Structure 1
Amino acid sequence: MQTLYRRLLRLMPRLGVEVTDLAPGAALVSRSTARYSVTGADKSTWIVRRTKNGAADDTGGGSAVRLGESGAVLLMDGAAREDERRLQLAAAEYLCTQHVAAMLDLYGVNCVFDVGANTGQYARRLRRLGYRGRIVSFEPAPETFARLEQAAASDPDWRVYPCALGREDTAAALHTGWKTMNSLLAPSDYGKDRYGRFATSDTAQIPVRRLDGIMDEALEGLAGPRPFLKMDTQGYDLEVFAGAGERIAEFVGLQSEVAVLRLYEGSPPMAEAIAAYETGGFGITGMYPVTREATTGRVIEFDCVMMRADAAPTP
């Protein structure tokens, strides 16, 4: 989805059409009322055009599939149709980000705690989706934090902290050199079999803080705080959650990466993590696959979005 599409992308909203890349050869087009179809101009370009009947289009080696009565169309070329796993995961990521943005808006969230921020991908995505509230990001790996700090420098309401969050205030050894998979936990045997990057690692001593000890500073200046907790800490999410103590009741929602097949030693199974979140007053609003085994199709991890129903706005 490059070249001509990139040039046309800025014009699409004027026609009421939005085009979102999912993966090479696949995209999602959304429009609430008008009819349209797509033509594959070449292997990396889609041309969106209006039609009279809104029928699926198979010209140019591409296809357009209507997604029920949603007013959206899934665009695919032959390669995208053949790579089912890649397409499914890309679609799940898109649906998850759209759902989170909708929940932040519905619940009036004005502060997102971005725990395990890496270089700020999650925060930048929220901004692209229209979230304008405060973001507070935590990233303990020194080199990665430097890139996060640079990403946030031009955003006055995006704060960054060079630490991990956990059950207690302490110092710990972080396994580094695993790119987006750096963790305070060692890899499991299953993780070692799946990812070659786990074969070697360096460690860095990093500070760990409790969430409840940093909340006042993070929420300072907000009238009527409505925080949301996003956790992506490579097996350490439940420790972050525990570090909120009784103040977890102040959060209107959360997002956690929960594992069906554990990549890290000591990480909780999915059922244990979800049970703890439910005990804390949160209910599931969405589950989206993050990774799947190519050979078996089994889901390894889900992004689980949960909200506190009693915090929802009154109709």
Structure 2
Amino acid sequence: MQTFYRRLLELMPRLGLRVTDLGPGTAVVSRRGGRVRTSLGPGADLLTRDDGRYAVSAAGKDAWVVVRDGTRAPAGAWNSVRLGDSGARLLLDDRAEADERKLQLAAAEYLCAQHVAAMLGLYGVNCVFDVGANTGQYAKRLRRLGYTGRIVSFEPTADAYARLSKAAEHDQDWHVHHLGLGREDTVSTIHTGWNTMNSLLPPSDYGRDRYQRFAETSTEEIEIRRLDGVMEKALDGIAEPRPFLKMDTQGYDLEVFAGAGERAGDFLGLQSEVAMLRLYEGSPRMSEAVATYEESGFEITGMYPVTRQAATGRVVEFDCVMTRAKAAPQTG
């Protein structure tokens, strides 16, 4: 004898509803489009739209990857890697495992961002100076990672500043300035047309060999201010400022830092792009930059490769994160 449950399921299509029977006493009713039930393993099922666009592959114990057809990662190409005792796992497809350098750099970028966010929290940072902001990538990443304090961004080039301004327009605690920072208040020219690599310095011979973008350039006149001359306004309204300095100025970071003068001591931490292989004429090597920061009381908390030579594996530049260890909150 047909049960009431079964009769009810048969009635649903007449009402314009679709029914996917999942087993005794269980069904999914949907208003539009069919559904497909795919078994993932004992006690686990996947329900997807009946359009043939999804593929499922195992990714370790009790884990599966669902991808749309047409992606470059075919079903079955995933490998789940345990990240020590962190509780995290890394999912790799065959493309990632085939390109070690790209994987390492992507992982370094992720880890650097996570580390900086953790340091901002640990040291109670409430104002980040984002020097060399470009179009706001760094600030937007901080927001995604949960930083809610003030961000003060400096970008000297007109095109990038216009995009930066637009990115920050709905964030009341993200202030932007159409300025470059340096050792002295002046007006100078910057090389443009190099995307995120615009610089006040000309490219080195090595830089020209590495990047085709350096073959052609245009210049733009920009205003440069000392960092210690803009800090008062930037920190206005913060009762107990705890600032952090991020610099990404394509070979010009030490000039920015020099412009902080004695107020460099106000910063609890910094992030600077330091070079093992110089892309710009006159830019400092990593050893010089790190020594300068250390003389001011900063200590390294993390080093993350930004670029590497494909042929040799050598690191070209690192993101160097440093803090004043004595400024860390004391816990009992």
Instruction: Give, in angstroms, the shift of residue 175 of structure 1.
Output: 0.2
Q: Could you say which residue in structure 2 is the equivalent of 1:125?
A: 141
Q: CA deviation at 1:39?
A: 3.1
Contact 1:38/1:63, CA 8 A, preserved across alignment: no
Question: C-alpha distance in 2, partners of 1:264/1:210?
Answer: 22
Report SS of the residue matched to 2:300.
strand
Q: Tell me what 1:50 maps to.
A: none
Query: Is 1:313 equivalent to 2:314 in the alignment?
Result: no
8 Å CA contact 1:140–1:164 kept in 2: the answer is: yes
Letter in 2 for 1:274: V
Task: State the number of aligned residues.
Answer: 271
After TM superposition, which residue ranges in structure 1, 4 or more long, deviate above 6 angstroms?
none
1:296 alignment partner, one of 293, 308, 312? 312
Q: Please give the secondary structure, in 2, of the residue aligned with 1:60.
A: coil
Instruction: Report the Cα offset of residue 103 of structure 1.
Output: 0.2
Q: Which amino acid aligns with 1:281?
A: G
2: CA distance, partners of 1:261 / 1:37: 42
Quick one: which amino acid aligns to residue 213 of structure 1? Answer: G
1:198 is aligned, of 214, 221, 231, to 214
Matches of residues 91-240 of structure 1 in structure 2 within 5 Å?
91-240=107-256
Q: Does 1:84 align with 2:110?
A: no
Show CA shifts across 1:42-89 (max 9, x none): 57499xxxxxxxxxxxx7111000011011111111111001100000
RMSD: 1.6
- Given that 1:40 and 1:61 are in contact with CA atoms closer than 8 Å, whether structure 2 keeps it comes out as no
Write the letter of the residue equivalent to 2:305.
Answer: P
Q: Tell whether the 8 Å contact from 1:290 to 1:300 is kept in structure 2 after alignment.
A: yes
Runs of 5+ consecutive residues of structure 2 not aligned to the other structure: 1-58
Q: Given the alignment, which residue of 63, 67, 73 partners 1:37?
A: 63
Q: Which blocks of at least 5 consecutive residues in structure 1 are unaligned? A: 1-28, 30-34, 47-58
What is the CA deviation profile of residues 248-276 of structure 1, one whole-angstrom value per residue up to 9, with x for unaligned ones?
Answer: 00000000000000000000000000000
Q: CA deviation at 1:132?
A: 0.2
Give the 3 Å change call, closer, same or farther, for CA 185–69 of structure 1 in structure 2. Answer: same
Q: What are the Cα deviations for residues 81-130 of structure 1, in whole angstroms up to 9, with x where unaligned? A: 00110000000000000000000000000000000000000000000000
Q: 2:71, 2:224 → 1: CA distance?
A: 45
What is the Cα deviation at residue 36 of structure 1? Answer: 4.7
Local SS of the residue matching 2:244? strand
Q: Which amino acid aligns with 1:112?
A: V
Instruction: Provide the TM-score with structure 1 as the length reference.
Output: 0.84
Distance 2:66 2:250 in 1: 39
What letter matches 2:127 in structure 1? Answer: C
Tell me which structure has the larger Cα radius of gyration. 2
Equivalent residue of 2:128, what SS? strand
Match in the other structure for 2:285: 269
- Which amino acid is 2:319 matched to? D
- What SS does the aligned partner of 1:103 have? helix
- If the length of structure 2 is used for normalisation, what is the TM-score? 0.79
Tell me the equivalent position of 2:261: 245
Residue in structure 2 matched with residue 279 of structure 1 by the alignment: 295
